[in-house]
């Protein structure tokens, strides 16, 4: 089961990469010298990665694992090690050595300024995730 934010939220989640990438392109077009152009290219690549990962934020519930895709990393968590899903939302889990961990689910974080339809969609996704984790 794939749990993703509403499409409008997915586009908004890519903004932290898209907006600086546009600035990097503008800088690259007018930059003089090799070092400034190199730095602009590297920045552009980094911002493009953040834009794509921002669009792909979400959770995939597989038979034995939970895959949480964030802006910078993807975490794979064994289903049996999950101890709960918080309201933050985040996954509480325990490592095989017994260390307690938590992984935030940035795709379903809400704020007071977003529209109610979006908050409701995210709450439903977190509810589905909780039901999957309890099975």
pLDDT-derived band at 44 (thresholds 50, 70, 90) equals very high
The span from the CA of 109 to the CA of 43, in Å, is 27
- Whether the link from the prior residue into 114 is cis, omega within 30° of 0, is no
**pLDDT at position 67, please?**
98
Average pLDDT over the chain reads 95
Q: What share of the chain is helix, strand, coil (3-state, %, to 5)?
A: 50, 20, 25
Give mean pLDDT, residues 60-81: 97
What was the pLDDT predicted at 135? 82
**Would you say residue 43 has pLDDT above 90?**
yes
pLDDT in tens, 83-112: 999 999 999 999 999 999 999 999 999 988
Pick from 60, 55, 50, 51: nearest CA to 9: 55
The whole-number average pLDDT for the span 1-28 is: 95
């Amino acid at each position: 089961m794939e749990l993703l934010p509403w499409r409008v939220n997915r586009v908004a989640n890519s903004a932290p990469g898209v907006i600086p990438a546009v600035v990097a392109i503008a800088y690259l077009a007018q930059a003089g010298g090799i070092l400034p152009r190199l730095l602009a290219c590297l920045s552009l690549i980094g911002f493009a990665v953040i834009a794509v990962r921002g669009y792909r934020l979400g959770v995939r519930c597989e038979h034995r694992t939970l895959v949480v895709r964030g802006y910078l990393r993807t975490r794979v968590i064994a289903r049996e090690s999950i101890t709960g899903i918080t309201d933050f939302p985040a996954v509480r889990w325990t490592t095989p050595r017994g260390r307690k961990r938590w992984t935030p689910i940035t795709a379903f974080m809400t704020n007071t300024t977003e529209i109610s339809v979006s908050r409701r969609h995210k709450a439903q996704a977190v509810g589905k995730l909780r039901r999957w984790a309890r099975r």
